[in-house]
Structure 1
Amino acid sequence: MPSESKYPSLQIPDVDLWAFLFERKDKPFGDDKVIYFDPYTKCSYTYSQVKEAAANFGKGLKHLWDWQQGDVLALYTPNSIDTPAITWGCHWAGGVLSPANPNYTVDELAFQLKDSGARAIVTQLPFIENAQEAAKKAGIPLDKVILMGDRRDPSHNLKHFTSIINTAGSAKYRRTKARNPAEDLAFLVYSSGTTGHPKGVMLTHRNIVANTMMIKAGECGQLQPTGGPTNEGDKLLAFLPFFHIYGLTCLIHQSLYSGLQLVVMPKFDLEDFCRFIHELKVTFAYVVPPVVLLLGKHDVVSKYDFSSIRMMNSGAAPLTRELVETVHRRIGVPVKQGYGLSETSPTTHTQPWSDWNKTIGSVGTLLPNQTAKYMSPEEKEMPVGETGELWIKGPNVFKGYLNNPEGTAHALTADGYFKTGDVGYQDKAGNFYITDRVKELIKYKGFQVPPAELEGLLVSHPNVIDCAVIGLYDKDQATEIPRAYVVPKDGLGKTEAQAKEIADWLSAKVAHHKKLRGGVKFVDEIPKSISGKILRRVLKVKAQQEMDDAVKAKL
């Protein structure tokens, strides 16, 4: 039987995001509460300022651009305290927001603009050239490429979003409500595109409303023995990208809904991250495994006081016991895990605060209003304790992939389950474990080798700063074999003997089929996405090039 959440079921209101956030009757904090704070400029938005700016931006979209229900606004920018007002202003006018990675090239951005059908783009001045070039390719008029953030166009040719707010004025414009919150889109977020083009993930108003409530229940709900973050003094540090669903829901939406102050960084910088925690007395942070790794190993961390932090929550990739315990010993901060995907809005599981050190390696328990099961490759349900692919069902599960009925049909079952593509198991106490991605498992002579497990062990080696494991096809053995790419600690050379020492060290800790038969290769850095996921495809290209070069050398 599928697993049910242990949490009490939530009553999800049948409203759109604007009504959920700004027309609620149960708000436990004042309108003058500072929600979004920029630690670099000291600028901020209170709850009422966000609401007013968003409503006026929505009026401006209607007044200047005749914004219609379902129109798509693209956001091509690093994190900014302006992002929430623009996001909900688009919703006020009935629109759909499609955030894009600011590191996208012109062609990558143009693909998203075309695929999403975006009518306009909001960006920041340093990104304007790419935005304009992509707009031309997507057929978007250049007068619909506008700015946000602190910097204005010195030539005054480009509109800033505040000028749209200031032209809104007329009382004749009324908010466009979602006709059906369970069907009408709020966001079009794009998957990381590990194979082929990124897919447009269609998230409805109900998806985000539900997940915001689910996250709050997981952090502060009835089953939380120790208090999670509250609106009374708690501060969240936000470096996770707002264009990614992790930052979009867990940071932007959760902070406004729960009344938490969000300290907004445009991007991750380790020293600034540590400094803001120290100076601003930050109490909670959502992180990703590469950041946890830095906190455990980087010298700069020792300069700062982390005593204000009550908890960190890591997501996007598995964490190991060694890493969690290393960080806790070093800076005294507990690190719990959560789990989610773009297609689930995102959070489906999280560890209760009191369990962070009792179930290390687990992503926690199932959040409210969901059911889940682990399935075999033959789509048979696996019993507790046995490994399979995780399938999830709930009000947070996406509507489908935009313009991709085949992908949608493959991902969603007829009875509403989403096939996550992640492999793991559940223990008898209801804790869920994710061991790897289905597509990333290395198949060695019929055995499955999870790269994340080997990576977790390797980073506990005293001379390993970071690492990634991939599978290489060995023609002689007619099977895949694991190879590790390792970033060595300063002072460690890159000799064959040192590579063998690391491989032998791991061999003593794993089963016979998990040994690094593809060897250890030293690199300067591990390629990762902005959300912290290892870009294994990049390493596979590198490995292929190395093998081709080796063949040529023998000729």
Structure 2
Amino acid sequence: MDCLSSANQSSLGLFDFLFSNPFYLNFHQPVLFEASQTQSNPIPIYPHSLRAIALTIAKNLNETFDLHPASAHSTDPNADIISPVVMICLPNGVPFVSVLLGTLAAGLTLTLANPALKPQELCYMIATSKPVLIVGLSLALQNIRGAINLASLDYQPEIILVEDSKLSPNVKTYTTLLTPKEQGGTFKMDKSETRRRIALILWTSGTSTGKPKAIKLSHHALTFSVSALSKIHPQYRLRPQRFTGFAPFYHIFGVTNVLFVAITIGATIFIEPKFNLGSFLKLIKREKITQLHLSPPVAAMLGRLKDIKKQDFVSVTSAVSGGAPLEGDLVEDVWRKTGIWIKIGYGLSETSGVTHQIGDTIDEERLGCAGVPLEGVEVRIEGGEILVKSESMMNGYLGEGQVGSKIWFRTGDLGLLDRSGHLWITGRVKELMKVKGYQVSPSELEAFIRPIEHFQESVVGAVYDPEQASEFPRAYIVPLDQNLKSICQSTSLANSESVTNREQFACLAQLAKQAIEANCVNYKWLRGGVIFIDEIPKSDAGKILRRALGSKLNGVLVKIYDHQPRRDSRL
């Protein structure tokens, strides 16, 4: 019996499933606590109130904005159904959650974007997904408008701002979605339609072009994934759960593991404006948090804490890490200091989130293991690459062919299965970096550095920082100036600080820094620094050998940010 049939929810759309109490848990507590910058106490939002807000938004989307679900009737009975798209470009908070749920209830399609993206990054998402409505912050209005202009659409998307904008008083605000306060119904769909109707379009990085790919996730795939996730944690049925809400909801880990699971099991999410380690630790103790959803950098922070008391974490019964691999020794460090056993898992946006999860019991022999497949997931290794098949599989990439649950999906990750069926991640086929849980394409950054006239060639690799448990982008640049190139050839990296023409190298590094900062969100910045070298390592066929970059012994390293990762390139 699969996850959905066991919960008797196989014919529900995602919104109806989330609020159906599929596991018959009666924990009467708020679903959201959002810290306010103007009030000292968090504001509680209960499930019935959140549902009512969502249904009001759904009615206004359908009637005030005249947005209606796409028809299921098509000449191709297997074709995806994509309704008018609503883009949410917001940080975690009640507005984000309300608009997301309201859009689902209205039968429309969602796409989610990082609110910190620059116009050059956001425009591709807009041009590809073609949203008719964009909900964002007033502070990001210029970025949103700039992205729309760059996208060169043949129509003008409506913009809704969460706060009033003094820059543009004619722009509609979030209150437009809440007025009038009449509630509508939820859009209903039959069982076969749940597999075809696209609920979410999420984004991942490409491996060659640098452009993000648009992942189509159906109502069925997301419902199956959330149901499976809700079943693998036995503590969910024993007592009310209390989650931290720092994982971004525009990311698959945040939207499925935290938001959707919380609604399904009746948990409470405590949302704060931004992550701060001190506030995070106080929140755990004050609110008696039961489960932590961590990124590897946050796990690394916990592992480095010195004056830490295990009793401050006594309420925490479980912790999970997502977004990027987590090294076994770091899991052990956190366990020794806090008593928290971080469960490592494995998953992708393409699989609607987690496909593997390690068990609840402490097993030092399997430190660093990604665990066993969730219910409904199959896995195999082919040529060292992990292949996955699952009911939670995406329908495909927007503009490309179908995938679906019956096709083996090549993940681009390398791994192996031990005799007991546990998955171990050993590397990546694809040339992507994992920067604090975010995928970053080297070629995207190279496209901004390459046009700089003082550079002959440039390539971007990854440098790993064990203190932050994250990779960071590092640029390898061949200067056009022959004298500087000769200095690179004859200078050991260890002697970079004492090299002649140091100021000239520093000025060139600033050009690369400025090019990235002007065009990219801050997690893509060159925090790994710049290394000037005499030539880029290439194969006989002329292909760049990224993995050979880390073995370069000669060159000039220029640090352009205060913190510099210590370990060298993994690409």
TM-score band, normalised by shorter chain: 0.7 to 0.9
For residue 317 of structure 1, what is the aligned residue in structure 2? 324
Aligned match for 1:284, one of 280, 283, 291:
291
> Within 5 Å, which residues of 2 pair with 1:70-219?
70-138=83-151, 139=153, 144-148=158-162, 151-153=163-165, 157-167=170-180, 169=182, 174-178=185-189, 180-193=193-206, 195=208, 196-219=210-233
Distance 1:26 1:5 in 2: 14
Superposition deviation, residue 80 in structure 1: 1.0
Structure 1 unaligned blocks of 5 or more: 221-227, 377-387, 443-453, 474-493, 500-526, 528-532
2: CA distance, partners of 1:326 / 1:59 = 50
Q: Deviations over 1:439-467 (max 9, x none)?
A: 3599xxxxxxxxxxx999x83xxxx6667
Q: Is the 8 A contact 1:7 1:367 kept in 2?
A: no
Contact 2:91-2:115 at 8 Å conserved across structures: yes
Superposition deviation, residue 193 in structure 1: 4.3
Corresponding position of 1:542: 530
Would you say the 8 A contact 1:90–1:97 is kept in 2?
A: yes
Q: Which of the numbers 375, 390, 401 marks the counterpart of 2:386?
A: 390
Distance 2:65 2:225 in 1: 31
The AA in structure 2 aligned to 1:84 is V
Tell me, in whole angstroms, the C-alpha distance in 2 between the residues paired with 1:305 and 1:498: 44
Task: Give the SS at the match of 1:275.
Answer: helix
- Tell me the CA shift for residue 363 of structure 1: 0.8
Whether 1:55 and 2:55 are equivalent positions in the alignment is yes
Give the corresponding residue for 1:344: 351
User: What amino acid is aligned across from residue 317 of structure 1 in structure 2?
Assistant: A
How far 1:128 sits from its partner (Å)?
A: 2.1
Does the residue aligned with 1:308 lie in a helix, a strand or coil? Answer: coil
Whole-Å separation in 1 of the counterparts to 2:432 and 2:195: 35
Asked if 1:44 corresponds to 2:57, the answer is no
Which of 398, 401, 415 is 2:397 aligned to?
401
Query: Within 2, Cα distance between the matches of 1:105 and 1:471?
Result: 20
Pair 102,472 (structure 1): closer, same or farther in 2 beyond 3 Å: closer
**Quick one: which amino acid aligns to residue 434 of structure 1?**
I
**Partner SS for 1:348:** strand
DSSP-derived class of the 2:315 partner: coil
Q: The residue matched to 2:415 in structure 1 has which SS? A: strand
In structure 2, the partner of 1:359 is 366
SS class of match (2:11)? coil
Q: Which 5+ residue runs of structure 2 have no aligned equivalent?
A: 70-82, 434-461, 477-491, 498-515, 517-521, 537-551, 558-571
Deviation at 1:22, TM superposition (A): 2.7
Shift of 1:133: 2.6
What is the CA-CA distance between 1:284 and the residue it aligns to? 0.7
Check conservation: 1:313, 1:335, Cα contact below 8 A: yes
Distance 1:427 1:177, change over 3 A: same
Shift of 1:81: 2.3
> Is residue 241–residue 267 contact of structure 1 (8 Å, CA) maintained in 2?
no
Given the two structures, how large is their TM-score scaled by the length of structure 1? 0.72
Q: TM-score, normalised by structure 2?
A: 0.71
Alignment of 1:417-436 (within 5 A): 417-436=408-427
- Work out whether residues 109 and 199 of structure 2, in 8 Å CA contact, stay in contact via their aligned partners in 1: yes
Distance 1:67 1:472 in 2: 45
Q: CA deviation at 1:229?
A: 3.3
The structural deviation recorded for 1:158 is 3.4
In the aligned structure 2, how far is the partner of 1:433 from the partner of 1:284?
A: 24
Three-state SS of the structure 2 residue aligned to 1:109 is helix
Whether the aligned pair in 2 keeps the contact of 1:336 and 1:356 (CA below 8 Å) is no
Instruction: Tell me the C-alpha RMSD between the 2 structures.
Output: 4.0
Choose from 239, 242, 245 the match for 1:238: 245
Look up the SS of the partner of 1:62 in the other structure: helix
Please, which of 10, 33, 45 is the counterpart of residue 13 of structure 1? Answer: 10
Query: How many residues are matched?
Result: 455
Give the structure 1 partner of residue 486 of structure 2: none
Deviation at 1:143, TM superposition (A): 7.9
Structure 2 CA distance for aligned equivalents of residues 265 and 547 of structure 1: 47
Map 1:493-512; keep pairs closer than 5 Å: 496=494
Give the letter for the 1:147 counterpart: L
Q: Which amino acid aligns with 1:436?
A: G
Q: Is the 8 A contact 2:475 2:529 kept in 1?
A: no
Q: CA deviation at 1:12?
A: 5.7
Cα shift at 1:212: 0.4
Measured in 2, the distance between the counterparts of 1:174 and 1:219 equals 32
Amino acid at match of 2:63: H
Could you tell me whether the CA contact under 8 Å between 2:4 and 2:227 is conserved in 1? no
Deviation of 1:334 after TM superposition, in Å, equals 1.5
Superposed CA deviations along residues 106-165 of structure 1, whole A, max 9, x for unmatched, are 1211211120010011112222221233234444977821123xx444575433323322
- Percent identity reads 25
- Retained in 1: the 8 A contact 2:13–2:188? yes
Please tell me the residue identity of whatever aligns with 2:176.
Answer: S
Distance 2:523 2:373 in 1: 25
Post-superposition CA distance 1:175-216 (Å, at most 9, x none): 332450011000000113464110000000001100001101
Task: Give the 3 Å change call, closer, same or farther, for CA 541–305 of structure 1 in structure 2.
Answer: closer
CA–CA distance in structure 1, aligned partners of residues 179 and 246 of structure 2 = 30
Match of 1:490 in 2: none
Counterpart of 1:274? 281
8 Å contact 1:63–1:168 — kept in the other structure? Answer: no
Residues 188 and 544 of structure 1, relative CA distance in 2, 3 Å threshold: farther
- Which of 255, 261, 264 is the equivalent residue of 1:248? 255
Cα distance in 2 for partners of 1:541, 1:162 equals 45
Aligned to 1:64: 64
| Matched position secondary structure for 1:337 | strand
Compared CA separation, residues 309 and 416, structure 1 to 2 (3 A): same
Q: Once the 2 structures are TM-superposed, how far is the Cα of residue 168 of structure 1 from its aligned partner?
A: 5.4
Q: 1:361 to 1:143 in 2, by over 3 A?
A: closer
